[in-house]
Structure 1
């Protein structure tokens, strides 16, 4: 779970997730939305993949990324167990 929180702790990675919430995108399409280098975007995508938050699918010469909501569901389920009962 530490890698999950590390991945969510960065504003750029949260921004990438917001983009992928709308539609699947290639790394190049994602990079166009940020004012940082493509290698930096690749690093952010790699951390998101390690955390299980995104899935990469190779289509020809491009890799398309999509959001993996299963991990978010599991995290929210875990967090909800701490909600106080009134």
Structure 2
């Protein structure tokens, strides 16, 4: 869970997740939306992948990134448990 919170702490990574909510994208598609280098985008994508927030599928020479809704659901359940009173 710590990796998830660390990944979500960055505004660029949160924006990438918003984009992936709409559709699966390649790293090139994602990079085109930001004013930063390709290695910087790759770093952000790797953090999201390590946290389990995105999944990848190789399609030919491209890697397609998707949001991992399972981990998002788990995160929401965790946050909701914080709200419950004992």
TM-score, normalization by structure 1: 0.95
Residue of structure 2 equivalent to 1:8? 8
Please tell me whether residue 62 in structure 1 is matched to residue 58 in structure 2.
no
Paired residues in the alignment total 85
Distance 2:33 2:7 in 1: 19
Q: 4+ runs of 1 displaced by more than 2 Å?
A: none
Residue of structure 2 equivalent to 1:38? 38
Gaps of 5+ in 2: none
TM-score, normalization by structure 2: 0.95
Which stretch has the larger CA shift, 63-72 or 76-85? Answer: 76-85
Gaps of 5+ in 1: none
